[in-house]
Amino acid sequence: VYIINVTWSDLTSQIIYRRYSKFFDLQMQLLDKFPIEGGQKDPKQRIIPFLPGKILFRRSHVRDVAVKRLKPIDEYCRALVRLPPHISQCDEVFRFFEPRPEDLNPPKE
């Protein structure tokens, strides 16, 4: 689980908690919704940032994989919010970064 400090345009900030699988789900939604910006027709037109795919690993490697993903996830989030407004402000992105009830009682692991 990753801890994300979200700062909105009105300068309010909130802490949210997301699993890597949720980042991956968001990525798939964006690539489906914006095929041109996702580079499906022409890879040179891709502006949606890359996110490393899911990895199958043994339970003992969970922490190592999570730590290795920290920088790519940070870079992904930063690149995502710098995209043109039709992507960075679409419903899928807003929903992803909006606080959820489970953010009030974050996971212990």
Domain ranges for the chain: 2-104
In order of 13, 18, 40, 41, 58, the CA distances from 96 in angstroms are 15, 9, 23, 26, 28
pTM above 0.95, yes or no: no
In order along its 109 residues, the chain shows pLDDT tens digits of 888 999 998 999 999 999 888 999 999 999 999 999 999 989 999 999 998 766 655 555 666 767 778 888 999 999 999 999 999 999 999 999 999 988 887 666 5
CA quadruple 8, 14, 18, 22: dihedral, nearest 10: -30
Beta-bridged to residue 3, according to DSSP, are 17
**CATH code reported for the domain at 2-104:** 3.30.1520.10
Going by C-alpha positions, the residue among 9, 22, 11, 10 that lies closest to residue 103 is 22
Tokens of 69: 């993903």
